[in-house]
């Protein structure tokens, strides 16, 4: 990742994490807070209900105590009724009747527990009772005493409060009824009804001194609420203590869920971050590879073109645009490719339809002609293959297009150079033969000059008007005929040279071997005559025509025959023949031109001399250009010969011929030319013309 982008990104990630943590903490805090306040509320509500319940209970107990029979009733009845009351209400520990002087007249302890004042006498613990009774007298209403501790006989003790009711008969005080409530009992009664279960209820003095509490003291002391209950004469604080501890993170389900979700969220964020990073990397890699592909396509010199199955162009690369000179937009928008030459468009269209019909299997290369925007036509090579989409379905075609015009130009230049070289070689051949040719021309010209001058001499010597004698007339006739013949001969020499040197269109045609040989024979004979060489042409009967460039092959024949003749000239005669047809009868210089069908497809032409052969040293360099064994030679002959033959697809080589004793008795130079194929001559010629070129095709 690039550094200048990395920092904000890194920063963003940190910010995100911080934010996330903050939110999580806040959420946890809020959760805890909610739970705390909920517990608190529960406690508050509980204490409220308990206080109400306590008030109601105390009120009910007050009414019961008031319902006890008064002074006018029999003490037994009171006792009976008090007994029933004490059994009914377990919180009531003792009921007393006192007179106006606060002296105890009647007292009854609850039968459910041991008598209250067993340890200490009542008199020692009735200060608060006394105060309450006075308050009741004063206010003419029942009054409660402050709580006080009564120790038990068996150890321990109990907090109690007294309810004092002033009995009046009219306006006069008749006595007091004191009821003693045990606070634990009250608490037990209260716990049984009012507060939500599990909560720890306690009674405290307003200053916080514990008076009574529930049996199990389960309160955790974290969530508590107290309510001060005002009773006439005193106040009791009721405290509710929830057993719930401070809400902690772990054991709580909600908290666990919240934490779990937070962790999950965090994990998700981490995963997301990793995913994002992976995606970013993949994206950058993708962008890189796309850029690479684009650069590749842009830098290609090969034109690329994609077409869909309806043959609409869907993509072209810049090289193709440059090649045809149209913009990519023009190419993509046009219905019919603008680079189709107008005159061939119909044909291309037809071929394209054929291709469309042929389906996806097409994969081929063909040559075609396109036209540039400038109107210039150019040959192009198109390599086309089916294009498949990701699912493998045939989506269209992809073509690579190579502009062949430069290549064609190079080929053309090469061909012209080759032509020039061959023309030069032909001229060089003639140049090497110049001396021979001038002799060949001089001979008939000399004869002509001699006959003409002689004839003139005769005419000058003859007296006009007189008749010539018959012998002289015959001589003149002979002379004139000789002049005519020799002129013709000179003309033939010139023509043979001209025919050979003349530049001809290089074209392959089917030619009979005999025709080729006859074309060079005049020149060959010119040389042969000077060196007493017999020329023999030995063609196989029924030989096929050969497909070749006449002018070139003629030159090969001329070069090889000339080499053969000269080889025989330079050396002492080889292979004396006693049946030789030569003038002096002691020489046998024979050059054989042989033509044979080596295979059905090839014709083998041999030039066989009876010279001294080719020694190894010369043989190694024989085909090297400018290598020659002759002072006047240019050394182009054999190398050009080999080039020409190889251009025809044939091969040129040579072999020393040996007789039975192993002595070299000549050399055979031979080369192959392609034979005409079976069929009609016209068709064959046409086929040989067109076969190298690929048929024009649409691309």
Q: Which residues bind another protein (CB under 8 A)?
A: 434-435, 438-439, 442-451, 453-458, 461, 475, 478-479, 482, 485-486, 529-532, 583-584
Give me the long-range contacts of 579-584 (CB less than 8 A, separation at least 24): 581/534, 582/532, 582/534, 583/532
Nearest to 557 by CA among 615, 658, 638, 443: 638
**Using CA atoms, how far apart are residues 117 and 430, in angstroms rounded to an integer?**
167
Minimum separation from the CB atom of position 648 to another protein (A) = 35
- For the chain, the maximum distance between any two Cα atoms, rounded to a whole number of angstroms, is 227
Minimum separation from the CB atom of position 368 to another protein (A) = 57
Based on CB atoms, which residue is closest to another protein, 387 or 568?
568
Q: How far is CA 227 from CA 189, 196, 208, 503, in A?
A: 17, 16, 12, 136
Based on CB atoms, which residue is closest to another protein, 5 or 471?
471
Based on CB atoms, which residue is closest to another protein, 106 or 531?
531
Residue 123 near residue 150, CB atoms below 8 Å: no
Based on CB atoms, which residue is closest to another protein, 327 or 632?
632
Based on CB atoms, which residue is closest to another protein, 67 or 446?
446
Query: C-alpha 374: how far from its chain's center?
Result: 38
Based on CB atoms, which residue is closest to another protein, 143 or 527?
527
Based on CB atoms, which residue is closest to another protein, 461 or 678?
461
Based on CB atoms, which residue is closest to another protein, 429 or 643?
429
Residue 425 near residue 555, CB atoms below 8 Å: yes
Query: C-alpha 338: how far from its chain's center?
Result: 32
Which residue carries 């002096």 as its tokens?
584
Which residue carries 């003749």 as its tokens?
565
Minimum separation from the CB atom of position 435 to another protein (A) = 4
Minimum separation from the CB atom of position 568 to another protein (A) = 12
CA trace torsion 667, 672, 678, 683 (10° rounding): -130
**Using CA atoms, how far apart are residues 67 and 14, in angstroms rounded to an integer?**
78
Minimum separation from the CB atom of position 520 to another protein (A) = 21
Based on CB atoms, which residue is closest to another protein, 273 or 474?
474
Minimum separation from the CB atom of position 442 to another protein (A) = 4
Beta strands at 533-539 and 172-182: parallel, antiparallel or unpaired = unpaired
Which residue carries 């002379």 as its tokens?
479
Cβ within 8 Å of residue 78, ≥6 positions away: 68, 69, 97, 106
Minimum separation from the CB atom of position 448 to another protein (A) = 7
Based on CB atoms, which residue is closest to another protein, 212 or 497?
497
Minimum separation from the CB atom of position 534 to another protein (A) = 12
Minimum separation from the CB atom of position 593 to another protein (A) = 21
**Using CA atoms, how far apart are residues 62 and 143, in angstroms rounded to an integer?**
10
Minimum separation from the CB atom of position 532 to another protein (A) = 5
**Using CA atoms, how far apart are residues 144 and 61, in angstroms rounded to an integer?**
12
Measured distance between the N- and C-terminal CA atoms of the chain, rounded to whole angstroms? 45
Minimum separation from the CB atom of position 635 to another protein (A) = 21
- The residues facing 378 across adjacent strands are 370
Based on CB atoms, which residue is closest to another protein, 457 or 690?
457
Based on CB atoms, which residue is closest to another protein, 182 or 611?
611
Residue 548, classed as helix, strand or coil, is strand
Residue 242 near residue 219, CB atoms below 8 Å: yes
Minimum separation from the CB atom of position 490 to another protein (A) = 9
Residues 526, 528, 534, 538: is their CA dihedral positive or negative?
A: negative
Based on CB atoms, which residue is closest to another protein, 62 or 528?
528
Minimum separation from the CB atom of position 453 to another protein (A) = 5
Nearest to 104 by CA among 62, 164, 170: 164
Residue 639 near residue 623, CB atoms below 8 Å: yes
Residue 80 near residue 277, CB atoms below 8 Å: no
Minimum separation from the CB atom of position 461 to another protein (A) = 7
Based on CB atoms, which residue is closest to another protein, 564 or 699?
564
Minimum separation from the CB atom of position 451 to another protein (A) = 5
Residue 636 near residue 425, CB atoms below 8 Å: yes
Q: Residues in the chain, how many?
A: 699
Based on CB atoms, which residue is closest to another protein, 114 or 446?
446
- The residues facing 364 across adjacent strands are 384
* DSSP result, 432-498: HTHHHHHHHHHHHHHHHHHHHHHHHHHHHHSPTTSPPPHHHHHHHHHHHHHHHHHHHHHHHHHHHHH
Based on CB atoms, which residue is closest to another protein, 418 or 531?
531
Residue 489 near residue 664, CB atoms below 8 Å: no
Beta strands at 589-599 and 533-539: parallel, antiparallel or unpaired = parallel
Residue 633 near residue 432, CB atoms below 8 Å: yes
Minimum separation from the CB atom of position 560 to another protein (A) = 21
**Using CA atoms, how far apart are residues 508 and 550, in angstroms rounded to an integer?**
7
């Amino acid at each position: 990742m690039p550094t200048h982008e990395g920092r904000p990104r890194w920063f963003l990630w940190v910010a995100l994490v911080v934010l996330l943590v903050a939110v999580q903490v806040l959420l946890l805090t809020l959760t805890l807070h909610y739970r705390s306040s909920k517990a608190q509320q529960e406690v508050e509500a509980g204490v409220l209900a308990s206080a109400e319940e306590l008030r109601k209970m105390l009120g009910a107990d007050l009414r019961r105590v008031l319902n006890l029979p008064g002074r006018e009733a029999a003490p037994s009845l009171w006792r009976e009724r008090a007994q029933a009351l004490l059994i009914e209400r377990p919180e009531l520990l003792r009921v007393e009747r006192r007179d106006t002087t606060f002296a105890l007249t009647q007292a009854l302890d609850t039968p459910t527990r041991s008598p209250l004042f067993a340890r200490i006498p009542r008199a020692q613990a009735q200060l608060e009772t006394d105060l309450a009774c006075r308050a009741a007298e004063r206010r003419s209403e029942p009054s409660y005493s402050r709580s006080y501790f009564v120790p038990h006989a068996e150890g321990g003790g109990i907090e109690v409060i007294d309810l004092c009711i002033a009995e009046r008969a009219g306006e006069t005080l008749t006595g007091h009824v004191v009821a003693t409530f045990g606070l634990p009992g009250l608490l037990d009664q209260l716990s049984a009804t009012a507060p939500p279960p599990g909560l720890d209820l306690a009674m405290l003095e307003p200053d916080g001194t514990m008076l009574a509490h529930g049996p199990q003291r389960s309160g955790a002391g974290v969530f508590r609420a107290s309510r001060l209950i005002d009773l006439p004469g005193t106040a009791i604080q009721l405290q509710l203590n929830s057993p719930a501890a401070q809400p902690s993170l772990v054991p709580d389900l909600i908290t666990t869920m919240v934490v779990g979700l937070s962790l999950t969220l965090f994990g998700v964020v981490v995963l997301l971050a990793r995913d994002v990073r992976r995606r970013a990397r993949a994206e950058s890699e993708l962008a890189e590879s796309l850029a690479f592909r684009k650069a590749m396509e842009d830098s290609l010199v090969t034109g690329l073109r994609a077409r869909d199955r309806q043959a609409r162009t869907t993509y072209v690369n810049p090289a193709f645009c440059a090649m045809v000179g149209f913009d990519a937009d023009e190419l993509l928008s046009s219905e019919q490719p603008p680079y189709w030459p107008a005159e061939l468009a119909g044909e291309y269209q037809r071929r394209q339809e054929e291709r469309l019909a042929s389906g996806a299997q097409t994969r081929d290369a063909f040559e075609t002609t396109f036209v540039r925007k400038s109107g210039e036509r150019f040959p192009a090579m198109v390599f086309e293959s089916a294009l498949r989409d990701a699912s493998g379905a045939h989506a269209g075609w992809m073509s690579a297009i190579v502009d062949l015009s430069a290549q064609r130009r190079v080929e053309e230049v090469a061909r012209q150079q080759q032509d020039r070289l061959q023309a030069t070689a032909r001229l060089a051949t003639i140049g090497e033969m110049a001396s021979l040719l001038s002799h060949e021309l001089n001979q008939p010209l000399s004869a002509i000059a001699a006959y003409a001058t002689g004839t003139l001499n005769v005419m000058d010597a003859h007296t006009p008007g007189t008749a010539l004698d018959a012998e002289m007339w015959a001589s003149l006739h002979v002379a004139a005929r000789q002049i005519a013949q020799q002129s013709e001969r000179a003309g033939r020499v010139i023509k043979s040279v001209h025919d050979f040197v003349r530049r001809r269109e290089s074209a392959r045609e089917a030619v009979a071997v005999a025709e080729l040989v006859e074309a060079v024979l005049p020149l060959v004979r010119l040389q042969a005559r000077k060196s007493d060489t017999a020329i023999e042409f030995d063609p196989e009967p029924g030989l096929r025509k050969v497909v070749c460039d006449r002018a070139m092959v003629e030159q090969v024949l001329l070069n090889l025959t000339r080499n053969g003749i000269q080889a025989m000239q330079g050396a002492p005669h080889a292979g004396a023949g006693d049946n030789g047809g030569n003038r002096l009868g002691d020489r046998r210089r024979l050059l054989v031109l042989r033509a044979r069908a080596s295979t059905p497809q090839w014709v083998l032409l041999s030039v066989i001399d009876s010279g001294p052969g080719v020694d190894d040293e010369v043989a190694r360099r024989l085909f090297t250009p400018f290598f020659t064994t002759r002072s006047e030679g240019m050394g182009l002959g054999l190398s050009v010969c080999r080039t020409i033959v190889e251009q025809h697809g044939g091969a040129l080589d040579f072999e020393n011929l040996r007789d039975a004793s192993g002595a070299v008795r000549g050399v055979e130079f031979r080369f192959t030319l392609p034979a005409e194929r079976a069929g009609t001559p016209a068709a064959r010629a046409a086929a040989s013309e067109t076969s190298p070129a690929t048929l024009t095709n649409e691309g």
